[in-house]
Structure 1
């Protein structure tokens, strides 16, 4: 029995919200519910799982915009991101205005996450890696058993997260990818915040921003 996942593209930014669940217990988590909650609800119904929590990689509007509403509706605890992203959560209404999203409620996570901690989904355990650079409080969730990482906007197929937002930092982001993610192993598959899945090995070989060729 292992961790299953389903990717649900949401918002005009086509952000990859993920539904992950423990096959054994049917308990699930919604990762980065940015919006389009009807799509998320439909996926939950179709998979026949029971959502027990919300996990957040970071607090940009396209990843966190639907969090408060979903948490309130289903009575769910919110875990993540790292507390350094609190200013982004507090600024969600301004983010919504800037990008033409519906105004979301501000919330406080039930649990801020630190590097090295773990989160559980049913009987499955995911490791938490603090990977700043895109945002200062960005975290990644890694399920070692199945070699799956949910990396948010740290790394994409052929690209990396933007660092031109407040408290973003390019060098910090590169370090997060090379020192935190790549050592997990070339075989690790990852779900990025946008676009198709890839593996760390493929990005090490071909990604123009962080490949081994860049030294």
Structure 2
């Protein structure tokens, strides 16, 4: 893809990204309540949903899959997601729920499962392209990177030529302060740090997170510094 324009569709809780170009695509779909805002953003971009060619999912959490099924129905776009998360997105495997690597996660694990399921509910959706490490979406110029630690099947979409990546929740940038994913819904601190170190090695100029502002310029350097701070703090 030679020309691309990235439109951030943000809410107070999450981001998704509309990418305009020869083969338009959407990265994540925000929360179920953000459906109207997402459709308005597509319209303001002088596009119709049926022009979307792909919907790329970074991981299965409801603030990334909240409008996935509806958008697939409207657009006919092909849905891509990491193969380990694809079964959750399709409704054939339950989500893992809160993790046990933080006090908040351990507290949430004590709540009735029905409460968490209601809060995190999204409509299941079939995944057309289960993704794994090293795959390339040639039409979009995107390489697939597996980034475990937050969910088992979390992935990033890396555009080597443009020096950018859509990184889901692996690094947040709330108030312009790079930080880790929400630990209450993550499962492995060591895997998080190793995934960050992978991003740090890519020479990224910009990284597009699921929460907070775009990271950059110098995204890889900033993420590398974060990884080392967390490694020290977590005694890894």
Structure 1 length-normalised TM: 0.81
CA root-mean-square deviation: 2.8
Give how far 1:127 is off: 0.7
Is 1:31 paired with 2:27? yes
Deviation string, structure 1 residues 146-175 (Cα, Å, up to 9, x no partner):
111100001123201134437x21101111
**Higher Cα Rg: structure 1 or 2?**
2
Deviation string, structure 1 residues 45-95 (Cα, Å, up to 9, x no partner):
222242112110000011111111111122222111332452365347x99
Give how far 1:8 is off: 0.5
Deviation string, structure 1 residues 107-129 (Cα, Å, up to 9, x no partner):
22011101111125xx5311110
Match of 1:104 among 100, 113, 122: 122
> In the alignment, which residue of structure 2 is the partner of 1:169?
188
Higher strand share: 1
Is 1:124 paired with 2:123? no
3-state SS, counterpart of residue 112 of structure 1: strand
Structure 2 gaps of 5+ residues are 98-112
Contact residue 85 and residue 136 of structure 1 kept, 8 A: no
Count of equivalent residues: 202
Aligned partners of 1:137, 1:101: CA distance in 2, in Å? 21
Give how far 1:189 is off: 0.7
Aligned partners of 1:28, 1:96: CA distance in 2, in Å? 37
> In the alignment, which residue of structure 2 is the partner of 1:113?
131
3-state SS, counterpart of residue 80 of structure 1: strand
